[in-house]
Structure 1
Amino acid sequence: MNPIFKHGPSPQHRLVLVLFCSALLIFFDHKMNSFEFVRGYLQSMVSPLQYLATTPKQAIDWAVENLTTRQHLIEENQRLKSNELQFQEQAMQLNILKQENDRLRSLLSSPVRKDAKKMVAEILSVDSDPYSHQVVINRGANDGVFEGQAIIDEKGIVGQILHVGTITSRVILITDVTHAVPVRIRRNGIRMVANGTGTIDRLVHNFVPHSTDVVVGDLLVTSGLGGKYPEGYPVAKVVAVKMDESRPFAQVQSEPVAQINRLRYVLLLWPEKPTAIFSSKDALTAIPENENAGS
C-alpha cells in the first residue's frame, strides 16, 4: 500500500545530487588521483572474470592455429620429400653426365696419334653368346665406316669392324677366340701375336720361343703389320710367362689394357693418308722448262 504522504527529496533533487557527486569524484580523480588504489583493487577483482570470459575464444584460436600449423607442416614435409627425391635424381644424372664427359674427354685424347681422323661411337648391344665377343655400334656406312677399321677406347685397342650396315656396324673384340693382333714388346721391339681366348681379361701368345726376352709387366703395342691396326697403340700387358722346357714354346699370357667389359663409347680410327711416292718420270715432269733448257 502506497503511503499518502511521501517523504524525502524529489527525483529531480536526487538527480542533481548524483550529478554533483559524480562531478566531484571526476574532479578529485583527475586532479589528485584519489581513487587510484580503489580502481586497482576493483580491477584485480574483475580480472578473473575477464580471463574466464575470454577463455573460450582463446581456446578456439589456439586449436585453429595448431591444426592449421600441423596441416601446413605435413604439406611442407611432403613437398620437401618430393624436392629431395628430385634433387637426388638430378644429382645422379649429373654424376652420370660427369662420368660420361670424363670418359669422352679421355677417349678423344686417345694415345699415340692425336691428329688422326676419329669418330666417337656408342655401344648399342652386346652379343649374348658367351663364346663370341662382339658388340654393335651406332655407326655405319653412312658415316664412312669400313670393314677392318680399328676400334679403340681411352686405354688402347678394342677390336675391329667385322660387318658394316647402313647405320650400325658389328665389332669383333680382341678377346674373341677367332681374333688375333700382331703386336710387339715396346721395351725391346720383339714381335708376337695376341690371340683371343674367349675370356674377357685374357690373351695368349702362341709359338713364343723360350729364348724370347719377355717378362711380366711388358707392354704390348700394335706392330702395324697386316695393315689393320695403326702402329704403336697399346694392346695388353704381360701377366704370366711360363718357361717349361718340356714344351716346345713358352706360355705367355697378357691382359688387355682396354676396358672390354666396361665399354660404353669407343673411337673409330681412320688410316693416315699415305705419303705420295714420285717416280723419276714424275720428278722430271715437275722440273720447269727453263731449267731443262738451261741444262
Structure 2
Amino acid sequence: MKPLFKSGPSPHVRVILAVGAALALMVADYSEQPPELLRTALSLLTYPLQFAADRPSQLVREIRVRFVNQQRLRDENAELQRENLLLKARLQQFAALEAENARLRELLGSSLDVSDRVLIAEVMAIDLAPYRQQVMINRGSNAGVFIGQPVLDANAVMGQVIRVTPFYSVVLLITDPDHALPVEINRTGFRTIAAGRGPNLDLELLYIPKNADVQVGDLVLTSGMDGRFPPGYPVARVKTVRQDPDNPFTTVIAEPTARLDRSREVLLVWSHNENLRAQALAAEAFKPSEFSK
C-alpha cells in the first residue's frame, strides 16, 4: 500500500542520518575535548526523566530508613529506661549501704572508747507489745553471748541480754517497765536507780531526796553496783526535775542517750573484770516475757 502523501526523507535516508549522528557523537565523546556544552544540555534534558524514574525507589528507601530509625529509637529508649531503673535501684542500695557504713563507723568509733571486748550484732526484730521493750539480735551462745550481758549502741547503754539461744538472743531495753539499773549522776556522784517507764522511752530516777543536787542536763552513768554493767557507761540525761508536795521524793525524768528506737546495730560487751562477768552469770536472770515479732 502506497501512502497518499510523500513527506520528508525516505526511511533509508533516515537510517543513514541516525547512524551518522550516532557515530559523530561517539567520536566526539571519545575525543580529548568533548563538547561539554552539548553534554550539559543533554543532561538537563534527561534529568527530569531520570529523577522521575529514581523517585519511587528513593521514597521506598527513605520510608524504610525512617521506620528503622523509629524502631531503633524506641528500643534505645526502652533500654535507657531499664538502665535508669537499675541505676535508681542501685543508688538506693548505695544510700542504704552508705548509711549502714556510717552506723558501723560510729559503732566502731564508740568501741574504741570502751576498754572491754565488744562484738557487733544486728537487730533482727522488735517486740510490738505496747508495754514490752525488747529486741532480738542475731548473736547467740555460739558467739559467746550470755544472760545479763550488757548491750550498747554507738551512744550509750541500751539494755541487757535476758534470753540466749545458739543463734539469737533477746535484749531487754532499759526503758522496759521490768528493768531497773543502778546509776549515778556524773556531776555529783549521787547514786540512784533508773527504772524504765515503757512506751514513752524515758527513765525515772527513783528515791531521790528533795535536797539532792540534781539538775536538768546532768549525765547519768552506770554505777557498776549491780554486778552486770561495768561502771562509767553513759545511760541518760536528766530532762525534768519536779518537786511534788505529795511525794516525799523528787520526781526526776531522764532521757536515754541511746537511740533505742532507731539503732540497727548494737555492741555486746565482755568486761575485762572477770568478777563482774561471774556475778552476771550467777545472778538470777529477769523473767523474760513471751517474745513476738
Give TM-score, length-normalised by structure 2.
0.82
* 1:231 to 1:63, Cα distance in 2 relative to 1, 3 A: same
2:184 matched to which residue of 1?
Answer: 184
1:142 matched to which residue of 2?
Answer: 142
Q: CA RMSD of the aligned region, Å?
A: 2.7
* 1:129 to 1:10, Cα distance in 2 relative to 1, 3 A: closer
Q: Secondary structure at the match of 2:220?
A: strand
CA contact (8 A) 1:111 1:155 kept: no
* 1:10 to 1:78, Cα distance in 2 relative to 1, 3 A: closer
CA contact (8 A) 1:183 1:191 kept: yes
CA distance in 2, matches of 1:26, 1:165: 107
Deviates more, 1:261-270 or 1:245-254: 245-254
1:272 matched to which residue of 2?
Answer: 272
The letter for the 2-side match of 1:201 is L
* 1:182 to 1:40, Cα distance in 2 relative to 1, 3 A: same
CA distance in 2, matches of 1:95, 1:220: 34
2:162 matched to which residue of 1?
Answer: 162
Which structure has the greater CA radius of gyration?
Answer: 1
Per the TM alignment, residue 253 of structure 1 is displaced from its structure 2 partner at its CA by: 0.6
Deviations 1:1-32 (A, max 9, x none): 579xxxx99969x75x7666655555667456
Q: Secondary structure at the match of 1:194?
A: strand
* 1:9 to 1:264, Cα distance in 2 relative to 1, 3 A: closer
User: Is 2:197 the partner of 1:197?
Assistant: yes
Correspondences of 1:104-253 after superposition (within 5 Å) = 104-110=104-110, 113-253=113-253
Correspondences of 1:86-97 after superposition (within 5 Å) = 86-97=86-97
Deviations 1:55-88 (A, max 9, x none): 1111111111111111111111111111111111
CA contact (8 A) 1:200 1:260 kept: no
CA distance in 2, matches of 1:122, 1:109: 17
* 1:45 to 1:192, Cα distance in 2 relative to 1, 3 A: same
Q: Quick one: percent identity of the two aligned structures? A: 38
Deviates more, 1:104-113 or 1:88-97: 104-113
Tell me, which stretches of 5 or more residues in structure 2 are unaligned? 4-8, 276-293
Which structure exhibits the higher relative contact order, with contacts defined as CA atoms closer than 8 Å and separated by 6 or more residues? 2
CA contact (8 A) 1:112 1:232 kept: no
Q: Secondary structure at the match of 1:159?
A: strand
Tell me, which stretches of 5 or more residues in structure 1 are unaligned? 276-295
Give TM-score, length-normalised by structure 1.
0.82
Count of residues in correspondence between the two structures: 269
